[in-house]
Chain A
Amino acid sequence: MTSIELWNHCENPYPFVPAEVLDAADSVRASLPNKYCDPHIAARLYDEIWEEYRLCDDIGLHIVTNEHHSGINNLWAASPVITGIVASLTRKVRILSLGTLVTVRPDPVRVATEYATIDVISKGRLDIGFVKSGATEMVSGNANPMHIREREWEAIDLIDKSLTSHEGPFSWEGKFFTHPHVNVWPRPYQSPRPDFWAATSDLPTCAELGRRGYVNTLLFGGYDRTRKAYDAYKDARAAAGLPKAGEDRFSYMAFCYVGDTDEEAMRIGQKIPWFLTVSIKSSPQFSKFQPGAVAPEMAPAAWRGGASKRPTDMTVASLIAQGQMFCGNPDTVARQIKEFRQRVGGVGRIIMMTRQGLMTHEQAMKSFNLAANDVLPQLRDLPPIDEELRVAR
């Protein structure tokens, strides 16, 4: 029997820049002047979201933080700072940092130290997530966008060793990072270390996550891409002779709004695709023409197709149909999640992106309450996945 966990992921967006400014800007990330970010409004946003996190702690929704820089999409500019605050605000739920951008951080040992500290403060409630990142983050973080996947793996390996070495300093002289004297204090609360997650739909990377046993999370992958990614994970484990992974190794982030009625949820939920229609606008040099953004052989398709065009026709209905959004009354959302689980071959951790765009604090609180009180109970003790049904689709 499987029980699905629900996690709340809020990026703390800043949607209060005038539309004419956003329309005229080349990019709403990396280069938008911070004069458009009013610190008084930002302070209110942080307060509101701390309150949402306290609610999550009371009602059993786990919490995800992440990190983006220099743009309207995200005021979590330093995930370890935010995660440390969340650790102190909460008492019960797990906290996932997904994650600080190890591809732009110069010293993974410092990252390990920050995470070990948070794990101790939270008394073992931390999970550590990794994202490759790219595009505007390489610009904001002045990180060479080439070879970032290789750099990310070396950073992960060094963080892993930093968190699990307890017999005094060790030395690391890798391709991307050198540190002759690694000795992290405090050591993490959890043993051997907090669980590792990584966000990716890249199949070779999913396979490597499978061999390592990390949690594989996909962001808005929809049914097909998600199933292929999870299958790559499972196949790699099978090929390596490793035991079958439980559903807790698979996670999925979707837009989500739970209302009293389907009609209310769809109406309020329509605020969430702001994330796609407004907050990812990037200049061509920060997107399709950034070195490493696409493999050279894929360049003709990406460049001719205008990869940086903004989608403008994102309706809740189309997002639901593609498996990218769970939205409706509690029964509807529970049914959508169970359907998703079935079609992708099992998933144990659903991450809800709810407070997005101009969604208000009150609207977000309402959805969280309904998700915890009326959706979550329907996701407990689920029967095993019907493999035949999955293949038939």
Chain B
Amino acid sequence: MKPELEILRRGSGRPILVVHGVNPVSPRAPFLDRLAEHGAVVAPSHPGFGASAMPPDFETIYDLVNLYQDVIDDLPGDDVTMIGLGFGGWIAAEVAVTRPSKLRRLVLADPVGIKIGGREDRDIVHFFNTRPDELTRRAWHDPSRIPEGCYGLGWQSTIDDRMTDAEMVSLARNWDSLCLYSWTPHMYNPRLKPWLRRIDVPTLVLWGESDGIVTPDYGRAYAGLIPGARFETIAQAGHHPELEQPGAFVDRVARLMEAYR
């Protein structure tokens, strides 16, 4: 049985598949309308996130990777741009390694998913074992500019009286599901790195200059493992450049789409 997914859609044209990070893409995220000027944005919520049910037999990133093959198969036409954000960047990289026939371009924004450093180097700050205020400090260039209704890493430290019960239930459920998929090895697949060489579509690896969750150096190394990938940074942005710098983020994506029509 193919799981039913909640899907956020915006705009028309060539599909732009957005694979979300710690939380589903908020319909209030300012980058959505800008991105929709370049194609039909399709942003599913992973199983166990948002309003997407968690199938009882879903357990690992393997399930998500295969599910996103289904998602791509179901998109119209044969010209898909896939954007993976953070944790979703890991999924997108895994999917791209399998060379889906409709995939034309790949954007990875601050992805996790591989191990770069030595065995005592913490490449990726632990999402679950780190204090929420420390996550916030590391994840954002300027936390005061987090768009209304959008939640990235460190969302726990933004809980206040304005947050509704429904939002809390949803965030708790997303957090649980994220943990199921990624607790250990934490946020990476030890087998992915050697297979990144199979990615055969134009790839842009984007990085928030101030990302303290996974640093730009990690990003440079990541991009170096994907044949022909470009590495670019976005100023005044952390782990969620699509939220902190929506204009610059969409400009970079649009440039890739223009360069490889």
- Name A residues whose Cβ lies closer than 8 Å to a Cβ of B: 26, 139, 142-147, 283-286, 289-292, 294, 296-297, 299-300, 303-304
Q: Is the interface of A mostly helix, strand, loop or mixed?
A: loop
Asked if B129 lies at the interface with its beta carbon under 8 angstroms from chain A, I say: yes
Contact, CB under 8 Å: A142 / B184: yes
Asked if B165 lies at the interface with its beta carbon under 8 angstroms from chain A, I say: yes
Asked if B169 lies at the interface with its beta carbon under 8 angstroms from chain A, I say: yes
Number of residue pairs across A and B with beta carbons under 8 Å?
58
Q: Which residue of A lies closest to B135 (CB)?
A: A285
Contact, CB under 8 Å: B176 / A289: no
Asked if B66 lies at the interface with its beta carbon under 8 angstroms from chain A, I say: no
Asked if B53 lies at the interface with its beta carbon under 8 angstroms from chain A, I say: no
Contact, CB under 8 Å: A291 / B169: no
Q: Please, which residues of chain B bring their CB within 8 A of the CB of A143?
A: 183
Which one of A144, A146, A290, A303 contacts B159 once the chains associate, using CB atoms below 8 Å?
A303
CA distance A296 to B165 in the complex (A): 10
* Complex A-B: 13 CB contacts under 8 Å: A144-B179, A145-B128, A145-B179, A145-B183, A283-B131, A289-B132, A291-B176, A291-B180, A292-B176, A296-B172, A299-B168, A300-B165, A303-B168
Which one of B132, B165, B172, B173 contacts A284 once the chains associate, using CB atoms below 8 Å?
B132
Q: Is the interface of B mostly helix, strand, loop or mixed?
A: helix
Q: Please, which residues of chain A bring their CB within 8 A of the CB of B171?
A: 299
The 7 closest A-B pairs by CB, nearest first: A291-B179, A299-B172, A144-B183, A296-B172, A300-B165, A296-B173, A146-B180
- Name B residues whose Cβ lies closer than 8 Å to a Cβ of A: 128-132, 156, 159, 165, 168-173, 175-176, 178-180, 183-184
CA distance A285 to B183 in the complex (A): 14
Contact, CB under 8 Å: B132 / A299: no
Rounded to whole Å, the gap between the CB of A378 and the closest CB of chain B is 48
Q: Which residue of B lies closest to A31 (CB)?
A: B129
CA distance A176 to B159 in the complex (A): 34
Q: Please, which residues of chain B bring their CB within 8 A of the CB of A299?
A: 168-169, 171-172
CA distance A82 to B106 in the complex (A): 55
Rounded to whole Å, the gap between the CB of A325 and the closest CB of chain B is 33
Q: Please, which residues of chain B bring their CB within 8 A of the CB of A284?
A: 131-132, 156
Which one of B132, B169, B173, B176 contacts A300 once the chains associate, using CB atoms below 8 Å?
B169
CA distance A139 to B183 in the complex (A): 10
Contact, CB under 8 Å: B131 / A285: yes
